[in-house]
Structure 1
Amino acid sequence: MSKKAENIDLDALLEAIKEVKINGKSIRSVASQYNIPKSNLSRYISNLTANNVDFATADANDIKNMIAPMVTYGPKTYFTAEQEMELMKYVLFASNIHYGLSIVELKTLAYQYAKKIGIEYPAEWDTNGHAGKHWYYLFMKRHPNLSLRKPQQVSANRSKAFNKENVDGFYKNLSDVLAANEYEPHRIWNMDECGMPTVPTKAVKQIAEKGQKQVATTTSAERGTNVSLALAANAYGNTVPAFFIFPKAYMREIYLTHAGHGATGDANGSGYMTSDTFVKWMKHFIVHSGAKKGSPTLLLLDNFTAHLSIEAIDLALAHDITMVSFPPHCTHKLQPLDATVFGPLKTALAKQHDAWQKSNIGVKFDIHHIPQIADICLDIAATPRNIKAGFASCGIYPFNPDNFSESDFVAANPTDEMPSTSIEQNDFERRIVVLSADDIEPGAHEEVATSESSFATSSTSSSAITPAVLRQALNAVGPLNLGTPAKKSNRGRKPMKAAILTSPEVVADLREKADAKRKKIEQQKEKGTKKGPPAKKNKPSARPTRQAKRAARPTRDVEFCILCFDDMPERMTAQNTAKCIECQREVHLRCVYASPNTFKCPNCESDGE
C-alpha cells in the first residue's frame, strides 16, 4: 500500500508507542504487532522523547496532536511540523475568542503565512490568492482535533459577561447556599422561559426535485405570534407541568383545551413574563414541586426584572424556597435548561409544527394549538437524561466550581494577537508538554521586525525560525484585527450580578426599591389631581364619533369563529362572513370551503346525522 493511500490510525500508533515506552517492549516486536514500519515507529518515539514527554501522565490528545504533524498524508507538506503547529494554534485561538475561521479564510491565511515566512509553495496559490482544496483536506486530516462546525450565534454582551469574575461569583453564592442546607437532587430546580411561536424560525428540510431553484413550505402566517413557555426542571430529571403565557388581554378556556395534564397558563397582553404572571407561576410551582416549610427547596433562575417582585419573594420565603440568580448574559453556559433542553425543544417544535400542518391542510395554526404540540415536544426534549446532563455540564449537580477552564473566558477580553502560550488546556484534565531547553532560542522573546523582507528567507533557513517569530507572522497576516470600541456611557441601568435573591440583604434592598417606586407613583397621581388652568371646551360635533358608534352597537352573542376560534370582525359583511343555513351562526368566510349558500356548521351537521 502506498503512502498516499495509507490510512494511519493515531489511536493504534499511540498504543504502540506506550507499549515501547511504558511496558518496555522492543520497537521491532511492537512494529510487527501493530503493522507499523519499524523506521517510522522509531522516528515518532525519538521525536517525542526529545520533547521530554512523560508517557505515563501525559494526556492522549496532547500526544496525538504532537504525532499528527509527523505522519505523512499524500505528497510532502509545504510547512514544517513546527510551522503547521503554530497555524493550528492560531485557528484554535480564533475559535476560542468566538471569531472562528471559515474554510476560505483558512486557505487565504495559509497562503499569506507561507508567503510571509518565505517557504516554497505551488504557483497556483499566487494565481488564486489562497491555498488549494487538496492542502485543506490534508491539513484537517493531519490535525484530528480540528473539525468544521456550525457555530452558535452569541451576542457580544454574552461574550463579555461570561468572565471569570461573574462565574466565580455565581459559584460562590451557590456554594454558600449548599453549605447552609443539604439539598437532595429532586429539591434543586432550574426555571426559565422559552418562546414558542406559531411560525417556527427554522423550517424542516424536505425532499424536492433536484435543481429546483426555490422550495417552499406553507406556514400559517408571515410572522408568527409568540407564546412563552415557563418550565422548571430539577436535578433528578423531573419537570413541573408546563405554564403558558398567551399574548391576549383575557385568558380563555379554549387556549388550554389541548394542553397536557396539570398544565396551566395566563394571558397578559404581551405574551412574556411579568411580575404578576410570575407570582401565578410561583403558586403553580409550589403546588407541583411540593415546596413547603421545613423542606428546603433551591430555585435557580435568571435575574429578569419580573422575577424580582416582592410578592414572589415573600411566597418563596413562606415556603422555604431559596432563590439564586445567574449572572446576566451567562445563562447560555450556566443554565441547565438552556444548555441541553431548549435546543432539542426548538428542533422538535419545528418538526411537530410541520407534521401538524400536513395533517391539517388549509387550517390556520393558532396560539391554542401551541399547548397541543408543546406536550409532545416536551416528551422528546425534556427527558431525564437531557436534564441531568444539563445540570452536570453547568457544574450545578454534582457541584463543580472548576467546571470552566481559562480558555472558556478568553472571549471576554478579545485581542487580535495570539498569546505566546496557549491556554486551551485544562489544568485538571491535561498536562502541559514542556519543550526541551535546546529547542528554545535566546532571542525568542525579543521584538522582531514584521516587514516582508525579514521573513523572505530560503526554505532551508525558514525551518530555523523560532515559534515567537512564527506567531508574529500569523498575527501580521491573520484576519483578526482589534477595533476601537465606543466610549462607555454612564447612562442606563447598572449591570446586575448573581445574587441570592432570598437573602436578607437582597430582600431589604428590593423592599426599599418597591417602596420608592410606590411613592413615586403616588406623587404622580397627586400632581395629576391638582387643579390646572380651565380646559378649552370643544364645540359639540353633529356627527357621532367612532367611539359613540361602537357603544351604540348591540353586543353580539357570537364572539369567535367556531371553525378557527379566531375573533369575528366587528363589522360583518358578505365579503368576510358566512352564515349557517340552519342556525344562522356566523363564521369566517375564509374558513368555509364549500359554497356559502349551502354551508352548514359542524353542530348542525352532527344534529342532522
Structure 2
Amino acid sequence: MPSRNHLDKIRKNKKWTEEAMERALVEVKSGRCTVRQAAKQFGVPKSSLGDRVSGRVTPGSRSGPAQLIASADEDRLVEFSLYMSKHGFPLTKQQVVSFASSIYKRRHRRVAFSKLGQTWWLNFRKRQEKNITNQQADFVVRGKTVCMRKEQVNQFFHLLNSVMDANELRDKPRQILNCCETGFQLGRKRVIYPKSSSLGYKPPPGSRDHISILACFSATGEDIPPFIIYSKAYPGVCYKTQGPPDALYGWSDSGRVNSELFKRWFLKHFLVYAPKERPLLLIFDGHKSPVNLEVLEAARKKNVVLLCLPPNCSHLLQPLELGLFPLLKQRFTTLTGDTCTAEACFAVSKKDFTGVFKETYQAAKEEEGVGIVKEGFRKCGLYPPDHSSINNALLMPSRSMSPADGASLSTAAQGVPTVDDLTVAGPSS
C-alpha cells in the first residue's frame, strides 16, 4: 500500500491545473494551435492534452485509477458520518471503511472480496478534507474510566435539548423512547453431596448460559415487546413458545446484542410496534449496539431520531437501569425460588427461561412497573429534560483541557466521546 507521504508527493508533482487544460483544449479544438503548441503555451502535458483531444479521456475527469465508490455513494457515506457524529455516534476509521466496503459489495455483487483498504481511505480523506477530519480523542473520554465527568453530562444534555427543540418533542413523552439491554446468567440447581466427596470439574465463572433482554419503553411507560437473545444456537421452537406476547427471539455467540441483531430488532420489530406518531426519539447506548447504514436509512425514512448516550453512564442516564431492571430481576428471583442476587446464577434452564420471564415481565405492565419507568426517565433527566436531576456527587470533577492532552473532540460531535473520532471539521451548525 502506498504511504500517505508517497501519495502527497505524487499530487505535488502535478504542476498544471484543470483550468489550464480546459483552455488548452479549447485552443486546439478551435484550430488556433496544435496539441504541441497548446501544451507548451499553457504548461500542460502533451500526452494528457492529446488524450482529451482524441476522446480517450473525458475532459474534467480525475487522473489515476477509477474511483471505487461512485461520487453519489461517497457523498451519502459522508452525510451518514456527519449525522452519526452529530447524534453521538462518531465513527472510527475502521467503521467508515467497513461501511464503504458494504456499499462497494452492494454495487458489485459478483466481486468475492472488497478492494477498499488504506489507499482508498487516504484518497477518501483527501477528497473530503473540507467536510470531515479524523481526530484523536482525549484519553479520559475513551470509556476507560468508571465515572463520568461533568463536562460529558453537560454536553449530552446540550445535545438532548437541541434535538428536542428541533423536533418539538418537549411535551410529547410518548414519542421519547429508551432501549437498554440487561442479562441473566443461568445457573445450576443446588444438590446435596457428602461433605468429603469430590465434585470433580467445576465450570469456570462466566461459562454458564447467558440470556439477554433488549427492552424498550417510552417516557409514558409503554413498551415495545422485548427482544430475547440466547447464547449460541437454540434448537427448534421450544424456546419461543411460552415467552411474552409478540416477543422477538435471536441468538449470538456472546448471548448479547450485536450490530446485526440490533438491525433486525430495529427494522423488523421496533418500527412495527413503535408509536405511530412522528417524529420519535430513540435514546440508547450505541457504543454497545453500533448502528449501520441500513438502520440509519430506515430511521431517517421513518422519521426516527437516534441519540447515543455517552459510555459508562448506565448508573446515571439509563432510565431502565435505575428502576425497572432491578424490579424484574427481583421478580425473577422470587419466581425461581433462588436466593442468588440479581446478576448471579438462577436455578432455571434455558428451555424454561421464557415461561418464567413471561411472568416476570408482567411487572412492567402493572401500575407499579409503569410508574417506575416514568420515574426512571425523570431521575435521569431525560423527560422532562432536566440536567439538575443528575446526582453530581456521582460525577468526577470537570477537567480542563490543555494542548498537552492531545487533540480534542470536534464541537460538531457535541462532546460525546469515542476513540479516533470521525467528526465534522469546524463548529457545528
TM-score by length of 2: 0.51
Query: Of the candidates 378, 383, 397, which is equivalent to residue 392 of structure 1?
Result: 378
Which residue type is aligned with residue 290 of structure 1? P
2:319 corresponds to which residue?
A: 336
Query: Of the candidates 207, 212, 224, which is equivalent to residue 228 of structure 1?
Result: 212
Greater RCO, CA 8 A, separation 6+: 2
Tell me how far 1:288 sits from its aligned partner: 0.7
Query: Of the candidates 157, 163, 169, which is equivalent to residue 145 of structure 2?
Result: 157
SS of residue matched to 1:189: strand
- Cα RMSD over matched residues? 3.7
Tell me how far 1:266 sits from its aligned partner: 0.8
1: CA distance between counterparts of 2:406 and 2:182? 31
2:263 corresponds to which residue?
A: 279
Query: Of the candidates 302, 305, 312, which is equivalent to residue 322 of structure 1?
Result: 305
SS of residue matched to 1:240: strand
Deviations 1:432-453 (A, max 9, x none): xxxxxxxxxxxxxxxxxxxxxx
SS of residue matched to 1:256: coil
Identity, in percent, stands at 25
Q: Is the 8 A contact 1:326 1:497 kept in 2?
A: no
2: CA distance between counterparts of 1:243 and 1:194? 11
Tell me how far 1:165 sits from its aligned partner: 0.6
2: CA distance between counterparts of 1:173 and 1:391? 17
Tell me how far 1:325 sits from its aligned partner: 0.8
Tell me how far 1:280 sits from its aligned partner: 1.1
Q: Does 2:337 correspond to 1:354?
A: yes
Q: Does 2:193 correspond to 1:194?
A: no
Residue 367 to residue 250, structure 1, CA distance change in 2 (3 Å)? closer
Which residue type is aligned with residue 287 of structure 1? V
Which residue type is aligned with residue 274 of structure 2? S
Q: 1:125-144 residue pairs with structure 2 within 5 A?
A: none
Tell me how far 1:344 sits from its aligned partner: 1.8
Q: Does 2:359 correspond to 1:376?
A: yes
1:579 corresponds to which residue?
A: none
SS of residue matched to 1:397: coil
SS of residue matched to 1:224: coil
2:48 corresponds to which residue?
A: none
Q: For structure 2, list consecutive stretches of 5 or more residues without a partner in the other structure.
A: 1-142, 196-202, 341-346, 400-404, 408-412
Query: Of the candidates 152, 165, 169, which is equivalent to residue 166 of structure 1?
Result: 152
Q: Is the 8 A contact 1:324 1:498 kept in 2?
A: no
Query: Of the candidates 137, 161, 165, which is equivalent to residue 175 of structure 1?
Result: 161
2: CA distance between counterparts of 1:340 and 1:348? 13
Q: 1:102-501 residue pairs with structure 2 within 5 A?
A: 157-159=145-147, 162-183=148-169, 184-199=172-187, 224-249=208-233, 252-282=236-266, 283-291=268-276, 295-354=278-337, 365-380=348-363, 383-404=369-390, 406-410=392-396
2:115 corresponds to which residue?
A: none
Residue 316 to residue 408, structure 1, CA distance change in 2 (3 Å)? same
2: CA distance between counterparts of 1:409 and 1:499? 16
Q: Is the 8 A contact 1:194 1:230 kept in 2?
A: yes
Tell me how far 1:316 sits from its aligned partner: 1.3
Which residue type is aligned with residue 196 of structure 1? F
2: CA distance between counterparts of 1:500 and 1:344? 31
2: CA distance between counterparts of 1:168 and 1:403? 12
SS of residue matched to 2:327: helix
Tell me how far 1:305 sits from its aligned partner: 4.6
1: CA distance between counterparts of 2:398 and 2:350? 39
Tell me how far 1:381 sits from its aligned partner: 5.1
Q: Is the 8 A contact 2:310 2:417 kept in 1?
A: no
2:52 corresponds to which residue?
A: none
Which residue type is aligned with residue 341 of structure 1? L
Deviations 1:416-467 (A, max 9, x none): xxxxxxxxxxxxxxxxxxxxxxxxxxxxxxxxxxxxxxxxxxxxxxxxxxxx
**Which contiguous aligned blocks of 4+ residues in structure 1 show a shift greater than 6 angstroms?**
none
TM-score by length of 1: 0.36
Tell me how far 1:400 sits from its aligned partner: 0.7
Tell me how far 1:406 sits from its aligned partner: 4.5
Tell me how far 1:181 sits from its aligned partner: 1.3
Tell me how far 1:390 sits from its aligned partner: 0.1
Q: Once structures 1 and 2 are overlaid, which stretch shifts more, 272-281 or 385-394? A: 272-281
Q: Is the 8 A contact 2:263 2:291 kept in 1?
A: no
2: CA distance between counterparts of 1:190 and 1:334? 10
Residue 172 to residue 195, structure 1, CA distance change in 2 (3 Å)? same
Tell me how far 1:232 sits from its aligned partner: 0.1
Q: Is the 8 A contact 2:319 2:377 kept in 1?
A: yes
Which residue type is aligned with residue 187 of structure 1? Q
Q: Is the 8 A contact 1:251 1:267 kept in 2?
A: no
Tell me how far 1:354 sits from its aligned partner: 1.8
Deviations 1:265-285 (A, max 9, x none): 112232111111111110211
2: CA distance between counterparts of 1:308 and 1:250? 25
Deviations 1:283-308 (A, max 9, x none): 211111135xx710000001225332
Tell me how far 1:356 sits from its aligned partner: 12
1:541 corresponds to which residue?
A: none
Which residue type is aligned with residue 288 of structure 1? Y
Tell me how far 1:227 sits from its aligned partner: 0.6
Q: Is the 8 A contact 1:245 1:265 kept in 2?
A: yes
SS of residue matched to 2:238: helix
SS of residue matched to 1:298: strand
2:46 corresponds to which residue?
A: none
Between structure 1 and structure 2, the one with the greater Rg is 1
Q: 1:39-118 residue pairs with structure 2 within 5 A?
A: none
